[in-house]
């Protein structure tokens, strides 16, 4: 009998594994649909619905549940950041099989978190339908938090990013992107459990009411909450006129002395001298050399252009020296007295009035993790161990705005950007992202990063300005709407205006609930909420689930 049951479980699990992987690919596509680059919120929710349906109807063992979670996450993550292959193979010189294996290994390692989450669900899920849905959401939340924080964190492609538009787009201001992903997972499990349930059971009605309440509240908030919760006590500063520079320097030439370096130095200097906008922004490492490597007078001339005029500029450049270490930084110049800046050599190089240094460094790109020097030795990429800047660095104050820079994938960590909102009186009014996505070619990485920036604007309700080397150079308003965008992989300047948010507001200083709690406690409130639900479910399971619960005999497999 056991042998027959196991034989029937194999084809069922093979089919379930395939369906789980397809759902994972759907989740990957939902973050930025191929061809349009737009998020598809309903597809993300549908992928979670399929995964929840497999768990609910198959009632798999812990091991089988872990396998379903692993296959879902492996397909999802490979389908999300497959473009890492380009940086490793095309620009890094790593053999194609090794590059593909490296991407697969990274995805497989991260997929283990979701395997653990679904193993735990199969072991702990109680008969109470509402609590089971909450447990599924909590475990999914914890898996996302682990991926986003452990080993420096790599939360690229979290499911919540698909909801920068749609009925759940009002939730980021309250719970952030991880909370949105958890709500989506919980609603999916609740819907699955409602189907075919006994309407006489109170837990079924709780699940139904939860779906209706959350969906209705989120839709209502999307239309009115942002404006109703923001009441200026005085007229805001006038819009800030911008010139965003996109050099489109080919990545394979960007750091080459005979091609990309002179092209970048010449083109960016020309634009910085000729633009008339109130603020001119050049992307990450727009100036690809250290100040002491530049020809005499280059940096001094640019600084004089802005410190003696009526404009300001923010420019990406590496700083430092061999003794003090190096940083991936942004220099800011404005009409004010220059101040001495750490990392700048004394005598000869210009002294900026503002410096921002990147805090969250990219593994293998800006620092080499322990035990991995053997891997980086195989890559033909200019790697280095950069120093970290501090969290919550001061904003660049100009034209009545407090402008908060972040570099590259720093905008992937909303809790770190929120640290600048601890004091509402000094909270940023505009955020600026400096990026170079040229490492990943003309791929969906550009679109995915744009959706990430959109999510930060929803969480913090501040506009995000993006200056990039190849795209997407864009302006996103505080509602997460892309108002202006330069055509990607072209050399040009995006000229537009942005209206800052948060100047002189009453009651809460224009700080969202997410910014308020994340600036004080980071992601700990989400950790605590997820663990609390898991503990409650564990207690409920220990007391013994009712007949028909998740501990009933398995129809398709055995422990």
Return the bridge partners of 240, or none: 498
**pLDDT class of 495 with cuts at 50, 70, 90:** very high
Q: How much is the pLDDT for 317?
A: 95
For the chain, the residue count is: 559
pLDDT at residue 228 in the model: 42
Confidence class for position 310, pLDDT limits 50, 70, 90: confident
What pTM value is reported for the model? 0.88
Lowest mean pLDDT, pick from 89-93, 338-342, 361-365, 463-467: 338-342
Q: Check pLDDT > 50 for residue 283.
A: yes
Mean pLDDT of the region 136-162: 96
Averaged pLDDT for residues 409-414: 94
92-96, 233-237, 339-343, 437-441: least confidently modelled range: 339-343
Can you tell me the mean pLDDT for 37-63? 93
User: Residue 408 catalytic?
Assistant: yes
Question: For position 218, what pLDDT does the model report?
Answer: 56
Residue spans of the domains in the chain: they are 2-228+519-542, 240-499
Task: Give me the mean pLDDT over the 83-95 stretch.
Answer: 88
Mean pLDDT value of segment 471-480: 95
Residues 232 and 235: their CA atoms lie apart, in Å, by: 7
Are the C-beta atoms of 243 and 493 separated by less than 8 Å?
yes
Band of the pLDDT at 387, cuts 50, 70, 90?
Answer: confident
pLDDT tens column, 21-48: 999 999 999 999 998 999 999 999 999 9
Highest mean pLDDT among 49-63, 205-219, 364-378 belongs to 49-63
Q: What pLDDT is stored for residue 322 in this prediction?
A: 83
Q: What are phi and psi of 182, to 5 degrees?
A: -65, -40
From CA 433, how far away is CA 453, in angstroms rounded? Answer: 8
Per-chain mean pLDDT for the chain = 85
234 pLDDT more than 60: no
Q: What is the pLDDT of residue 13?
A: 82
- Cβ neighbourhood burial of 100 (10 Å; 0-12, 13-18, 19+): middle
| Residues sharing a CB contact under 8 Å with residue 456, sequence separation 6 or more, in sequence order | 411, 414, 417, 431, 464
Higher pLDDT, 507 or 71: 71
Model confidence at 251, pLDDT cuts 50, 70, 90, reads confident
pLDDT band at 207 (very low <50, low <70, confident <90, very high): low
Q: Which residues pair with 328 in a beta bridge?
A: 318
Which has the higher per-residue pLDDT, 551 or 133? 133
What pLDDT, on the 0 to 100 scale, is given for residue 206?
57
| Residue 505 in tokens | 């507001």
Contact 186, 530 (CB under 8 A): no
Q: Residue 180 pLDDT > 70, yes or no?
A: yes
Q: Distance between CA atoms of 81 and 558, rounded to whole angstroms?
A: 35
* Catalytic annotation, pick one of 144, 275, 284, 416: 284
Q: For 335-357, what is the mean pLDDT?
A: 56
State the average pLDDT over residues 388-400: 90
Residue 414, CA atoms < 13 Å, CB-side half-sphere: 35
Q: What pLDDT band is residue 128 in, cutting at 50, 70 and 90?
A: confident
CA–CA separation, 313 vs 276, rounded Å?
11
Cβ atoms within 10 Å, residue 6: 12
Kindly report which listed range (204-213, 222-231, 297-306, 414-423) carries the lowest average pLDDT score. Answer: 222-231
Give the confidence band of 507 by pLDDT, cuts at 50, 70, 90.
very low
Write down the catalytic residue from 122, 408, 410, 416.
408
| The pLDDT of residue 253 | 81
Answer yes or no: 358 catalytic: yes
Q: State the Cα–Cα distance between residues 65 and 76, nearest whole angstrom.
A: 16
Active site residue 284: yes
470-507 residues labelled b (16+ CB within 10 A) or e (exposed):
bbbbbbbbbbbebebbbebeeeebbebebbbbbbebee
How far is residue 314's CA from residue 427's CA, in Å, rounded to a whole number?
19
What pLDDT, on the 0 to 100 scale, is given for residue 379? 67
Q: What integer pLDDT is reported at residue 58 of this predicted model?
A: 86
- Please provide residue 179's backbone torsions phi and psi, each rounded to the nearest 5 degrees: -65, -40
pLDDT at 307: 86
Question: What's the pLDDT tens digit per position in 353-371?
Answer: 899 999 988 876 666 666 6
The DSSP symbol for 60 reads: -
Whole-number Å distance between alpha carbons of 227 and 219: 14
**34 vs 547, higher pLDDT:** 34
Peptide bond just before 472 cis, omega within 30 deg? yes
> pLDDT category, 502, cuts 50, 70, 90?
confident
The yes-or-no verdict on residue 226 having pLDDT over 70 is no
**Which helix or strand (DSSP H or E) is residue 515 part of?**
helix 513-521
Per-residue confidence (pLDDT) for residue 547, from 0 to 100: 41
Exactly one of 358, 416, 459, 461 is catalytic; name it: 358
Average pLDDT of the segment spanning 386-403: 90
DSSP 83-121: THHIIIIIIT---HHHHHHHHHHHHHHHHHHHHHHHHHH
Angstrom CA distances, 274 to 277, 297, 354, 456, stand at 9, 17, 21, 32
**Helix, strand, coil tally for the chain in percent (to 5):** 50, 15, 35
Q: Which fold has domain 240-499?
A: Nitrilase/N-carbamoyl-D-aminoacid amidohydrolase (3.60.110)
């Amino acid at each position: 009998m056991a042998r027959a049951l196991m034989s029937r479980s194999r084809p069922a699990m093979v089919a379930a594994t395939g369906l789980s992987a397809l759902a994972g690919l759907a989740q990957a596509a939902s973050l930025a649909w191929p061809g349009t680059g737009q998020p598809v919120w309903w597809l993300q929710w549908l992928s979670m619905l399929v995964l929840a349906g497999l768990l609910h109807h198959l009632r798999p063992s812990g091991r089988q549940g872990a396998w379903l979670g692993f296959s879902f996450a492996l397909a999802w993550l490979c389908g999300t950041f497959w473009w890492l292959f380009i940086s490793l193979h095309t620009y890094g010189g790593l053999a194609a099989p090794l590059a593909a294996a490296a991407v697969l290994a990274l995805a497989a390692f991260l997929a283990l978190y979701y395997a653990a989450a679904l193993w735990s669900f199969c072991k702990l899920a109680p008969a109470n339908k509402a609590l089971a849905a909450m447990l599924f959401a909590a475990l999914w939340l914890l898996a996302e938090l682990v991926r986003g924080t452990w080993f420096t964190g790599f939360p690229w492609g979290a499911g919540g990013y698909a909801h920068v538009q749609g009925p759940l787009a009002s939730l980021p201001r309250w719970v952030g992107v991880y909370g949105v992903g958890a709500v989506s997972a919980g609603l999916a499990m609740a819907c699955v459990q409602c189907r075919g349930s006994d309407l006489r059971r109170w837990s079924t009605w709780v699940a139904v009411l939860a779906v209706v309440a959350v969906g209705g509240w989120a839709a209502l908030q999307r239309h009115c909450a942002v404006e109703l919760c923001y009441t200026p006590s005085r007229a805001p500063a006038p819009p800030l006129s911008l010139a965003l520079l996109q050099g489109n320097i080919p990545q394979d030439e960007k750091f080459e002395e005979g091609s990309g370096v002179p092209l970048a130095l010449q083109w960016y200097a020309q634009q910085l001298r000729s633009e008339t906008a109130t603020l001119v922004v050049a992307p990450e490492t727009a100036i690809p050399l250290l100040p002491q490597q530049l020809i005499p007078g280059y940096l001094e001339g640019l600084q004089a252009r802005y410190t003696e005029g009526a404009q300001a500029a923010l420019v990406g450049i590496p700083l430092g020296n061999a003794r003090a270490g190096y940083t991936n930084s942004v220099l800011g110049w404005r009409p004010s007295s220059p101040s001495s800046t750490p990392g700048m050599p004394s005598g000869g190089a210009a002294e900026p009035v503002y410096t921002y240094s990147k805090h969250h460094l990219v593994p293998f790109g800006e620092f080499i993790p322990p035990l991995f020097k053997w891997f980086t030795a195989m890559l033909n990429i200019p790697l280095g161990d950069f120093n970290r800047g501090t969290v919550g660095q001061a904003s660049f104050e100009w034209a009545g705005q407090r402008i908060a820079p972040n570099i590259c994938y720093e905008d992937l960590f909303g809790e770190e950007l929120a640290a600048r909102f601890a004091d509402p009186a000094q909270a940023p009014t505009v955020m600026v992202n400096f990026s170079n996505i040229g490492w990943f070619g003309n791929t969906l990485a550009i679109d995915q990063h744009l959706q990430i920036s959109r999510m930060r604007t929803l969480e913090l309700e501040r506009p995000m300005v993006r200056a990039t080397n190849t795209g997407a150079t864009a302006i996103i308003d505080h509602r997460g709407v892309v108002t202006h965008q330069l055509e990607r992989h072209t050399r040009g300047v995006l000229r537009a205006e942005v209206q800052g948010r948060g100047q002189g507001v009453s009651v809460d200083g224009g700080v969202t609930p997410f910014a308020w709690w994340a600036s004080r406690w980071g992601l700990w409130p989400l950790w605590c909420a997820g663990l609390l639900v898991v503990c409650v479910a564990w207690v409920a399971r220990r007391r013994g689930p009712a007949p028909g619960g998740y501990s009933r005999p398995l129809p398709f497999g055995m422990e």
